[in-house]
């Protein structure tokens, strides 16, 4: 369900839900032959880039990725890690650091997940996040209102582009997504569907069932599931 603010995907999901399941199973069988056996189990990778060009941020980023395919015949999920996501010609002191991290959960296939992974960040940067980063280069506070508007617009235009591809190419799959941008020292998080982001925080004192120094999970996103009254009402209204 590749867009939370728009309802076009909800309509497409209702109309093609049964067909998507059949197509997904057929694609599983076809693609299983071409996917490396390693992807059928699990892949783990880590990335450390301590010298991002002209990175004046006080913090440094270390990113690790783990993928578990489960029982499916091929991996439908896509992840993206761009430690320097400022784009061509932007890696200069005129822009704050922009790191992009995204997970795209394919449903019934991975065409939509791949397209979203390849285009979402670029669309959001073009929608205004690049400007936000530029105005925050000198350590100024990130304009959260402008950043939110850019992220919302980027998700919307990505969803619209994917719907056009679905219509043109007969895609029957979909995708949920959770994405994170680190702009300077500010973290922006957004999701569509039931993809979730959780912050691990060290407890500074004892609490119910945990001790000081233990890691505590803080959910940063809200699942878009029909079991929640507000989301169900939005879907039914669409």
| Contact (Cβ atoms closer than 8 angstroms) between residue 74 and residue 28 | yes
Residue 209 lies in a domain: no
When divided into structural domains, the chain yields a total of 1
Average pLDDT of the chain is 80
Spatial neighbors of 26 by CB under 8 A, at least 6 apart, are: none
Exposure string (b/e) for 43-73, b if CB count within 10 Å is 16 or more?
Answer: eeeeeeeeebebbebeeebeeeeeeebeebb
pLDDT of residue 137: 75
**CA-to-CA separations, 62 to 51, 52, 147, 182, 191, in angstroms, rounded:** 11, 12, 23, 12, 22
Answer for the pair 105, 80: CB distance below 8 angstroms, yes or no. Answer: no
Of 15, 4, 5, 12, which Cα lies nearest the Cα of 163? 12
CA distance 69 to 77: 8
Task: Tell which residue, 200, 179, 198, 175, has the closest CA to residue 190.
Answer: 179
Residue positions counted in the chain: 238
The domain of 72 spans 8-193
The model's confidence at residue 86, banded by pLDDT at 50, 70 and 90, is: confident
pLDDT greater than 60 at residue 91: no
95 has a pLDDT exceeding 70: yes
- Does 39 reside within a domain? yes
Residue 1 in domain? no
Which pTM does this prediction carry?
Answer: 0.74
In a domain, 234, yes or no: no
Assess whether pLDDT exceeds 80 at residue 53. Answer: no
What does the pLDDT read at residue 18? 36
Who wins on pLDDT, 83 or 139? 83
CB 122 within 8 A of CB 133: no
Average pLDDT over residues 48-71: 75
User: 143-149 long-range contacts, Cβ below 8 Å, gap at least 24?
Assistant: 144/186, 147/181, 147/183, 147/186, 147/188, 148/188
Q: Is residue 211 part of a domain?
A: no
- What would the pLDDT profile of 187-201 be if each residue is shown by its tens digit? 999 999 999 999 999
Residues 162-166 have a mean pLDDT of 97
Position 13 pLDDT exceeds 90: no
Query: Would 213 be classed as within a structural domain?
Result: no
Element (H, E) at 30: helix 8-32
Q: Is the dihedral of CA 73, 171, 176, 129 positive or negative?
A: positive
> Is 24 part of any domain?
yes
**What is the tens place of the pLDDT at every residue in 17-50?**
334 334 444 544 444 444 444 433 445 555 555 5
Give residue-wise pLDDT tens across range 194-234: 999 999 999 999 988 889 999 999 999 999 988 999 889 98
Please tell me the distance from the alpha carbon of residue 161 to that of residue 231, in angstroms, as a whole number: 23
204 DSSP 8-state letter: S
Q: How far is CA 209 from the centre of its chain?
A: 32
Q: What pLDDT does residue 90 have? A: 59
- CA distance linking residue 168 with residue 153, whole number of Å: 23
**What is the tens place of the pLDDT at every residue in 102-136?**
999 999 999 999 999 999 999 999 999 999 998 88
The answer to the question of residue 112 being in a domain is yes
135-154 residue pLDDT tens: 887 677 899 999 999 999 99
* Residue 185: Cβ-neighbour burial (10 angstroms; 0-12, 13-18, 19+): middle
Contact between 226 and 187 under an 8 Å Cβ cutoff? The reply is no
């Amino acid at each position: 369900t590749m867009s939370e603010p728009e309802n076009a995907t909800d309509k497409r999901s209702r109309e093609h839900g049964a067909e998507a399941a059949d197509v997904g199973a057929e694609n599983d069988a076809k693609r299983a032959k071409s996917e490396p056996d390693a992807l059928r189990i699990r892949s783990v990778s880590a990335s450390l880039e301590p010298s991002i060009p002209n990175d004046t941020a006080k913090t440094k980023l270390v990113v690790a990725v783990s993928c578990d395919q489960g029982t499916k015949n091929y991996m439908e999920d896509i992840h993206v890690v761009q430690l320097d996501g400022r784009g061509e010609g932007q890696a200069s002191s005129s822009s704050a650091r922009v790191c992009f991290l995204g997970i795209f959960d394919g449903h019934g296939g991975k065409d939509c997940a791949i397209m979203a992974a390849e285009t979402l960040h670029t669309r959001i940067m073009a929608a205004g996040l690049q400007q936000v980063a530029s105005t925050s280069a000198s350590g100024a506070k990130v304009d959260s209102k402008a950043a939110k508007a850019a992220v919302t617009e980027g998700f919307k235009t990505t969803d619209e582009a994917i719907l056009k591809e679905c219509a043109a190419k007969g895609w029957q799959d979909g995708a949920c997504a959770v994405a994170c941008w680190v702009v300077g020292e500010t973290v922006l998080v957004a999701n569509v569907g039931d993809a979730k982001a959780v912050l691990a925080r060290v407890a500074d004192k004892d609490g119910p069932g945990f001790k000081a120094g233990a890691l505590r999970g803080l959910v940063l996103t809200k699942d878009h599931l029909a079991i929640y009254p507000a989301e169900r009402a939005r879907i039914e209204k669409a």
